[in-house]
Amino acid sequence: MKEDRRDGFDPDALRRQFAILNREVAWLDNAATTQRPESVLRAMDEFYRQHNANPRRSVHRLGTEATAVYEQARAATARFVGGAAPEEIVFTSGTTASINLVAAGLARGEIGPGDHVWVSAAEHHSNWVPWQKAVHAVGARLQVIPLQPDGRLDLEAFEQGLSGGQTKWVAVAWVSNVLGAVNDVRAICDLAHAARARVLVDGAQGVAHLPVDVAALGCDFFAFSAHKMFGPMGTGVLWGRSSLLQRMEPLFYGGEMIARVEEQTATWADVPYRFEGGTPNVAGVVGLAAAIDWQQALPAAAHAHVAELARQAADGLAALPGVAVLGPTTGAPRPSLVSFTVQGVPAHDVAQVLDERGIAVRAGHMCAQPLLRRLGIESAVRASFAPYNSADEVRRLLAGVQAARKIFT
């Protein structure tokens, strides 16, 4: 659509790279998972057709090739996050696995009775439950950074909470998967580090939309999933500071994560291989590398386009009678998504009406039950955008929400 074209960026042309979007669907569920362009599908297909073998264990040529593509993907991922070295990258099955690895493999051993671990009120269950398990295992306490009335994190309350000196770890999302706001992760890291605590950032909802630079964010660990940035499912990344990865315990034992195995004892391979026990998902990380290439070739206008769609959707929804938009309306950038409730209409019914109109959105608790409880709601609807979406799809979303309200109220 002409109105979507800015600075030479044409979402319709981009859309043609996604075979699945030939179906009659407005895919506004990108925060759950994006779609994959042909280049990503081709790269994964080519791995299986041309190079398939287990990496790091076979001397034959296919094994050497598989090792090469696997390690090239690691180097590309390190560059993508602004890491200092490929060895800082651990491949996992996703954000959830990355966070569990840190919470159980390092944090649990660093906290003791009476210590504090902080999460924010807006965390995904994947960045909440692993920390619950860690604190419960050692008699520590989980503390929650509250929300301000305007929906942003209350960093003053956080700073006050840190002053007691019991805090050892902080785990916070870069971008909330419900509120859509970008958290001031740099400020959180600075406060935490001043209190001698470590910080894990859940980057799952940021990586597709914001430039990643772990040094600029100032965190100690950064977790994300390939499938939320145009790559494959079942592939994720944990970036960690080398000195901390050296101290972390593996969670999965066996396969190529060992250095030497005696009958009664074993020693571990170097970092990061000790965290990648078992045959890795080579096609997945090859797909991730292709997704990084694809994403980095996007013009800045593509990201501006996504933010503009999120703004149009948020403004349009807020203007509809009976519709309440969640999260900050001012003051915090909203790069990609908007969640909302419709008075008198259950979220799943809204999503059902939208689906009948060919519009895919997410409805439910969005894996953030503690947040929804704080907001006094049980479920919400979320529309989330990618560069292949259009202003026309936003209009269809708004019309569909109005129709749902008419049907049910």
Interface contacts to ligand PLP, rule CB under 6 A: 94-96, 124, 126-127, 173, 177, 202, 204-205, 225, 367
Looking at beta carbons only, is 82 or 234 nearer to ligand PLP? 234
- Rounded-to-integer distance, Cα 161 and Cα 276, Å: 36
- Rounded-to-integer distance, Cα 275 and Cα 198, Å: 20
Looking at beta carbons only, is 104 or 258 nearer to ligand PLP? 104
Alpha-carbon torsion, ordered 331, 30, 118, 160, to 10 deg: 0
Of 172, 170, 222, the residue nearest 192 (C-alpha): 170
CB contact at 8 A, 147 and 117: no
Looking at beta carbons only, is 122 or 271 nearer to ligand PLP? 122
Beta-strand ranges (E) seen in 77-157 are 89-92, 116-120, 141-145
Looking at beta carbons only, is 30 or 390 nearer to ligand PLP? 30
Using CA of residue 102, residue 136, residue 176, residue 10, what is the dihedral sign? Answer: positive
Q: Are strands 26-27 and 141-145 parallel, antiparallel or unpaired?
A: unpaired
- Rounded-to-integer distance, Cα 39 and Cα 330, Å: 37
Q: What tokens were used for 171? A: 């785990």
Using CA of residue 80, residue 81, residue 82, residue 88, what is the dihedral sign? Answer: negative
Looking at beta carbons only, is 37 or 94 nearer to ligand PLP? 94
Nearest approach, Cβ of residue 391 and ligand PLP (Å):
25
Nearest approach, Cβ of residue 90 and ligand PLP (Å):
14
- Residue 148 CB coordination number (10 Å): 13
Task: Tell me which DSSP letter residue 367 carries.
Answer: T
Task: Tell me which DSSP letter residue 182 carries.
Answer: B
Nearest approach, Cβ of residue 177 and ligand PLP (Å):
3
Looking at beta carbons only, is 214 or 353 nearer to ligand PLP? 214
Is 367 considered catalytic here? yes
User: In the sheet where 380-384 sits, what is the strand order?
Assistant: 323-325, 337-342, 380-384, 362-364
CB contact at 8 A, 202 and 226: no
CB contact at 8 A, 307 and 332: no
Q: Are strands 323-325 and 141-145 parallel, antiparallel or unpaired?
A: unpaired
Looking at beta carbons only, is 95 or 339 nearer to ligand PLP? 95
Catalytically annotated residue among 367, 372, 386, 397: 367
Nearest approach, Cβ of residue 18 and ligand PLP (Å):
20
Nearest approach, Cβ of residue 341 and ligand PLP (Å):
19
Q: Is the peptide bond before 272 cis (omega within 30 degrees of 0)?
A: yes
Nearest approach, Cβ of residue 174 and ligand PLP (Å):
8
Residues annotated catalytic, as ranges: 367
